[in-house]
Structure 1
Amino acid sequence: MSIPDRTLLEWLEEPSTERGLHFADVRDAWTFRSYAELAGLTLRTAEALRRRGVRRDDVVVIVQRSSPGFVAGLFGAMAAGATPCSIAPPFAFQRADDYDKHVSHLFATAAPALTVCDEDSLDHVAKITANLGLPAPVVFGELIDGVAPAPRPYPPAESALLQFTSGSSGFSRGVRISGAALRANVTAMRRWLDWSPELPGIAWLPVHHDMGLIGCLMNIITTGCDGWMMQPEDFIRSPLRYLRCISEQRVGLAAMPNFGLAYILRRVKPADLEGLRFDSLRSVILGAERIDPQVLEALEELLGPHGFDRRALLPAYGGAECTLAATGLPLGEGWTARAPESGAAGSPADARIVGCGRPLEGVGISVVDDDGAPLPDGAVGEILVSGTSLASGYVGDAGTASGTSIGAETLRTGDAGFLHDGQLFVVGRLGDGLKVHGRMVFAESLEARLHELGVPERRVAVLLGVRDGAPTGAVVLENARPGWKRAAHEVLSDALTDARLLAVDVPRGGLAVTSSGKPRRRVMWKALTEGTLPGTTGPLIAD
């Protein structure tokens, strides 16, 4: 079946009254909003924004949870000819001071003409905008009160979206996405997944994250299928509810990082799944972080007796500068894991790198050496991306810490990987590695090995570099349990041989992570070298 290329706002023209979005409520029930209702709300928002003085190419920041108001704010800003930018609400951060520091930078970079938020976020966001001298935020309900819908969308902005990188290497960077790039990426994903309106999707990822925003929400809406929308805390509270919805509603598409699958495995037991079926689930997009093959195997074991097909697991690779997706495993191929053939880290975990699929339509992938020369299959180098989905550029100070840069036609990702038979295998960040006896060791590989040995994700980070003139590996353990240091000593001493090994004990919440939970390794490394990393630092000795 041919999957058509649709504009981002085409769904507003003849919206369905039968299909739409189903939002999880506080009870074990769902609130339905048809696409016809959402279209009317979107055009009301577009007109309301124009009446508030928003003009073409202005930035409109949206600070809301996944909701009808968020949908209308996002697409309403586009329909007003403005550039929407989704920023996390305060609930996404454990500590208010972390939120203020992070979000103040985002607001300063975005410089919005208007900020639209929900009532729960208003007071907090108002303080931030006031400190920066930006216009005061407006609650969504007040924005559209008494406003009739615009008859049609206004001329589109040059940039269809302003989104931010994860900030794992420091401050998040603003990335401008053109309408052509966003349309090309959404269309490429739809064709990759063979996604049609008859195939329902489900999402729990936050809409301030590109995987939740573009990979889930935008794809669901522009495709015109039924979408079942949960908040992140809904999923955390009850992953079984998520699985029940997939079974009962015959959901075909889902997406999440590796930690989401691992969380399901921790919380859901085989007996909980009695009577459920997962044979409708044909695509589970996996991205945003390194994928653990043991988790994939365990998920197959849990859901397989209920009709789940392992070929539904679709690892993918991309990033904010790619709009979202650059590669994805084709339907029906089945995931594989392998080791690089040369230039690889010495960690046992490298034998289990999960492939992230093949380039999507309109995307080019290459792996090059330090001089930019293409490398043969199996050789580790820097991943370069080209094609129609690349971002237009950065907003404000692009910075250099991440190692990622957008050229005229090519994105230098700062990621290390290798190709095998046209499939991409991602090893880790180039700035998060250490050369040992001529071979690169990557922090992500060591962390993956620690997870295999029982150290939970999001409780450990490995930092690699040269400190005081000596090659150094440091393991940061959050609220360490017995046996964790023994596992860390085993893994690091084996992979790093003569390097100096350190352990940093931090309390709960002491591990520096991004809003999506990725470890901010280079931020922590910088603090370690400056002596400002919180916690207790000492030699890594097996406990």
Structure 2
Amino acid sequence: MDAPRTDRLALLRWLWEPRPDTGIRFAGDEQEWSRWDYPRLAAGAHARAAELLERGAARGDVVLVVEPTGPGFLTGYFGAMLAGAVPAPASPPLFGQDLAQWRTLLASLTGTARPRFVCTAPGFAETVRQAVGPEPVLLEEAPGGGPVPPVPAADLAMLQFTSGSSGSPRGVRVPFPALTANVRAIREWLAMGPDDPTASWLPMHHDMGLIGCLLTPVTHQTDLWLCSPQQFLRRPSRYLRCFGESGARLTAMPTFGLEHILRRVRPAELSGCDFSEWRAVIVGAERVAEPTLRAFADLLAPYGFAPESLLPAYGLAEATLAVTGSRLDERWTTRSIAPAGPGQAAGGEAATLVGCGRPLAGVSVTVLDSGGDPLPEDRVGEIAVAGPSVADGYHAGAVAQTTRFARGAVRTGDAGFLSGGQLYVLGRMGDSMKVRGKPVFAEDLEAALEAHGLPRRQQAVLLGVVDGAQVAVVVAEHADPALLDLARTDLARLAEGAELIMLSAATGTIPRTTSGKPRRRELWRRFADGNLPREGAGRLQGG
């Protein structure tokens, strides 16, 4: 049996041999959970596959899956695979989201993916049709039906969209061997057994939620608790009780998820919880804040939570997902460093970085200088990733931006260094600039704002050039001008040599990806065009 066929079988075996004793519990509107065992989910995927085949789906056709958190996403995603098609998950409209902006984004994804079919929930059908146009066949609720016969597999397991934090989202071509290798590496990293339940609130179309918290447990047929991002934001204590009462042990989230729990959950809400079996909280998708890790561990410690369960990690869609991760039962590490450019030594005391762990099984991480040559440890350069999890390039000839593929590896566009085998990430090279010979990263200025009490969900920093002058623009939503004034000295020191512009803007001004990262390029265009909505505090300028 050839390798791609074996890899596809490893991902789809559960659809022919589903476990009846395990399944997924989907959160309802109140406190209830709706349980779907794996035989029921498998039957739904077969029914969707049968419908696709009856409608003429051919090998390699793209199926856009625009579903909220729920069984419809599972049946659409795996049904497409069963039919020999390529699933392409995309975000459904979120509560409170500007529908015009969402339709524009979905139309862009449709132009990239060129789907023949679109799977969506009945309540979204009209809105989705307005975005995707008349060509793709729209599929809503799948009819019943028995198992479908095996059909030839597509070359790709899926088309995965990037977050779009540094530009327009691009479709990443993920072959079956890459997806299987990454799922296997995650299982080995977490020592994941058949009875290790997972719980998640992450969007199901986003790489961390999709691969780390959905495909890994589903293809292993372990129990899984799923709530939507909106449900988590409204009541994070409900999510925590999946671990404190129901026995979940594994999860993942960006740093802002930990921060949201710290803001919203009071110790009294954790009464009766036992977190002693909670083994892993993978923390990634954005720079990991060490004070947030400590505060989260302190909040849950009285209920048995071990700080070693917090596992800072690094990954990206172009490497399928996971690249590095902290080891189980090993406390996170930090390094205090001064700003350093490519090839320069990492040292000093200017900023504290959290280590993102070591490469997972089969993954190779190197740090390169500007000429593409490997650098020794403790030298700053561009992070490059190689190994079987690396994807097969961008779909439909998308133009590489900061991240690009080169000779079987991916040059990430992220700056960082290796030290003692650990990877430390400074930030996006495209979100930095050199001022008076010193590199300045947007993430460093955002960390300084956070240290002065402005949550990262309320701020973003933009670096660029206006009329020939280098500028650092701070966009702060609904911020106290006095707080910004207190932060000014630190910000001016970090961006010394650049003009510092501080804008107090209305809540909701900063566009973000589903993983919480600011869409800096979009925000910069609005700044340059003078289209940032501002509150009464207006522009606060300093230097």
Query: Smaller-chain TM-score range?
Result: over 0.9
Residue equivalent to 1:367: 367
Structure-2 residue corresponding to 1:40: 43
Contact 1:419 1:425 in 2 (8 A): yes
Equivalent position amino acid for 1:137 in 2 = L
1:309 corresponds to: 306
Bigger CA drift: 460-469 or 485-494? 485-494
The 3-state SS of whatever aligns with 1:90 is coil
Is the contact between residue 311 and residue 326 of structure 2 (CA under 8 Å) also seen in structure 1?
A: yes
Q: Within 2, Cα distance between the matches of 1:442 and 1:155? A: 47
Asked whether the 8 Å contact 2:448–2:487 carries over to 1, the reply is no
Find the counterpart in structure 2 of residue 74 from structure 1.
Answer: 77
Offset, 1:114? 0.6
Match of 2:138 in 1: 137
Q: Residues 332 and 354 of structure 2 are in contact (CA less than 8 Å); yes or no, is this contact kept in structure 1? A: yes
The question of whether the paired residues in 1 share the 8 Å contact of 2:43 and 2:146 is answered with no
Please tell me the residue identity of whatever aligns with 1:523.
E
After superposition, give the CA deviation of every residue in 1:357-380 in whole Å (9 maximum; x if it has no partner). 111111110111111122222221
Aligned to 2:333: 336
Cα contact 1:93–1:99 (8 A) shared by 2: no
Q: 2-side partners of 1:168 and 1:491: how far apart?
A: 25
Q: Is the 8 A contact 1:197 1:224 kept in 2?
A: yes
Matches for 1:268-279 after TM superposition, within 5 Å = 268-279=265-276
For 1:25, the aligned partner's letter is: G
Pairwise CA distance, 1:489: 1.3
Q: Aligned in 2, Cα 1:282/1:249: closer, same or farther, shift over 3 Å?
A: same
CA–CA distance in structure 2, aligned partners of residues 146 and 220 of structure 1: 25
Q: Deviations over 1:163-215 (max 9, x none)?
A: 11111112101111000100111111111111011111101101111111111
Task: Summarize deviations over 1:504-525 as a string: whole Å, max 9, x none.
Answer: 3322221122233211123323
Residues 291/245 of structure 1: CA separation in 2 closer, same or farther (3 Å cut): same
Match of 1:514 in 2: 513
Structure 1 stretches lacking a partner, 5+ long = none
- In structure 1, distance between residues paired with 2:339 and 2:122: 55
1:122 to 113, 121, 125: 125
Corresponding residue for residue 406 of structure 1 = 405
Do 1:418 and 1:425's aligned partners in 2 also have CA atoms closer than 8 Å? yes
Q: How far did 1:106 drift? A: 0.3
Aligned mates of 1:347, 1:269 — CA distance in 2: 38
1:435-488 per-position Cα deviation (integer Å, ceiling 9, x unaligned)? 233221110111012112101122111111222212211111122223232144
In the alignment, the residues of structure 2 paired with residue 170 and residue 535 of structure 1 have an alpha-carbon distance, to the nearest angstrom, of: 24
Which of 275-284 and 476-485 deviates more? 476-485
Counterpart position of 1:214:
211
SS across alignment from 1:284: strand
Aligned to 1:88: 91
For residues 428 and 191 of structure 1, the distance between their equivalents in structure 2, rounded to whole angstroms, comes to 27
CA distance in 2, matches of 1:432, 1:394: 22
1:40: how far off? 1.6
CA separation in 1, counterparts of 2:414 and 2:211?
Answer: 22
Candidates 240, 244, 247, aligned match of 1:243: 240
For residues 425 and 146 of structure 1, the distance between their equivalents in structure 2, rounded to whole angstroms, comes to 50
Does the aligned pair in 2 maintain the 1:349–1:449 contact within 8 Å? no
State how far apart, in whole Å, the 2-side matches of 1:325 and 1:254 are: 13
SS at match of 1:240: helix
Q: Give the distance between the partners of 1:484 and 1:408, measured in 2 at CA.
A: 48
Equivalent pair of 2:509/2:532 in contact (CA under 8 Å): no
What is the aligned counterpart of 2:24 among 18, 21, 25? 21
Give the CA RMSD over aligned residues: 2.1
- Match of 2:481, SS state, is coil
**Correspondence for 2:353:** 353
TM-superposition CA deviations, 1:106-162 (whole Å, max 9, x none): 0111111110100121110011222xx4224121x2xx3243331x44221101110
Alignment of 1:485-524 (within 5 A): 485-524=484-523
For residue 419 of structure 1, what is the aligned residue in structure 2? 418
Amino acid at match of 1:250: G
Shift of residue 341, structure 1, vs aligned partner: 6.9
Q: Of the candidates 89, 103, 127, which is equivalent to residue 106 of structure 2?
A: 103
Q: For the Cα contact (< 8 Å) 1:111–1:134, is it kept in 2?
A: no
Q: In the aligned structure 1, how far is the partner of 2:180 from the partner of 2:10? A: 6
Q: Is the 8 A contact 2:207 2:321 kept in 1?
A: yes
Q: Is the 8 A contact 1:341 1:379 kept in 2?
A: no
Shift of 1:526: 3.8
CA shift at 1:13, angstroms? Answer: 2.7
Maintained 8 Å contact 2:337/2:352: no
State the distance in 1 between where 2:359 and 2:515 align.
25
**Alignment correspondent of 1:233:** 230
For 2:15, the aligned partner's letter is L
Distance 2:99 2:349 in 1: 37
Shift of 1:348: 9.5
Alpha-carbon distance between aligned partners in 2 of 1:255 and 1:348, rounded to the nearest angstrom: 31
8 Å Cα contact 2:185/2:361 also seen in 1: yes
Deviations 1:56-95 (A, max 9, x none): 1000011111212211111111011100011111126611
Query: Normalising to structure 2: TM-score of the pair?
Result: 0.94
TM-score normalised per structure 1: 0.94
Contact 1:349–1:446 at 8 Å: present in 2 too? no
Which residues in structure 2 correspond to 1:132-211 (within 5 Å)?
133-139=134-140, 141=141, 144-150=142-148, 152-211=149-208
Aligned to 1:383: 383
| Map of 1:252 onto structure 2 | 249
Deviation at 1:534, TM superposition (A): 4.7
Distance 2:486 2:374 in 1: 37
Identity of aligned residues (%): 45
Aligned residues: 532
Distance 1:237 1:348 in 2: 41
Return the offset for 1:498: 2.4
> How far off is 1:397 after superposition?
4.6
**Residue pair 1:347, 1:441 contacting (<8 A) in 2 also:** no
**Structure 2 residue 502 is the aligned partner of structure 1 residue 480:** no
Give the secondary-structure state (helix, strand or coil) at the position aligned to 1:148: coil
The aligned amino acid for 2:475 is V
Structure 2: gaps of 5 or more residues: 1-5
